[in-house]
Every structure is written in structure tokens, then in C-alpha cells.
């Protein structure tokens, strides 16, 4: 079984599992896989830094959010 590699819909950059979870948490819980955005494009869209989003990922993990497993 091959694993599908997800790419950003804007820049075609690889989207890792934590970024997929962040897409679902922040943008849309039912976000289709072909509509995911990478952490860089997400930061630009949300007008924050990539580091801000990485901090948020860690915060959600520490809170026990099941999307970040």
C-alpha cells in the first residue's frame, strides 16, 4: 500500500501530518485533502509567522488534541 503525498494547493510544497492537522483545526475540520496548504502559505494567509504556527501545533499537542497524534 502506498501512502499519498499531500501537496500545498498554492505552491505545491509537501504538507506534513502536523500541517494537515493544523489545516483541519484552524481552517476547516472537513478540509478535502486536495485543498490543504503548507505551513508557509498558511502563515501568509493568516498574517502570522511560521514559528507562530509551529508553537500553536505544540500547544495543541500538549492539550491532547486528537488531530495531532
Cα R_g (the chain), whole angstroms: 12
Q: Can you tell me the distance from the alpha carbon of 53 to that of 5, in angstroms, rounded to the nearest whole number?
A: 21
Alpha carbon separation from 55 to 1, 13, 47, 60 (Å, rounded) = 33, 20, 15, 9
Residue with cell 504538507: 15
Residue 16 dihedral angles phi and psi, to the nearest 5°:
-80, 175
- The one-digit pLDDT tens for each residue of the chain (69 residues) are 556 789 999 999 999 999 999 999 999 999 999 999 999 999 999 999 999 999 999 999 999 999 998
Grid coordinates representing 53? 504556527
The predicted pLDDT at position 2 comes to 58
The predicted pLDDT at position 65 comes to 97
The predicted pLDDT at position 3 comes to 65
Locate the domains of the chain by residue range: 17-63
Amino acid at each position: 500500500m502506498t501512502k499519498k503525498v499531500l501537496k500545498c494547493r498554492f505552491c505545491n510544497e509537501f504538507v506534513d501530518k502536523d500541517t494537515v492537522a493544523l489545516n483541519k483545526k484552524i481552517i476547516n475540520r472537513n478540509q478535502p485533502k486536495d485543498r490543504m496548504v503548507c505551513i508557509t502559505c498558511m502563515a501568509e494567509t493568516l498574517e502570522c509567522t511560521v514559528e507562530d504556527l509551529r508553537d500553536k501545533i505544540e500547544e495543541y499537542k500538549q492539550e491532547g488534541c486528537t488531530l495531532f497524534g
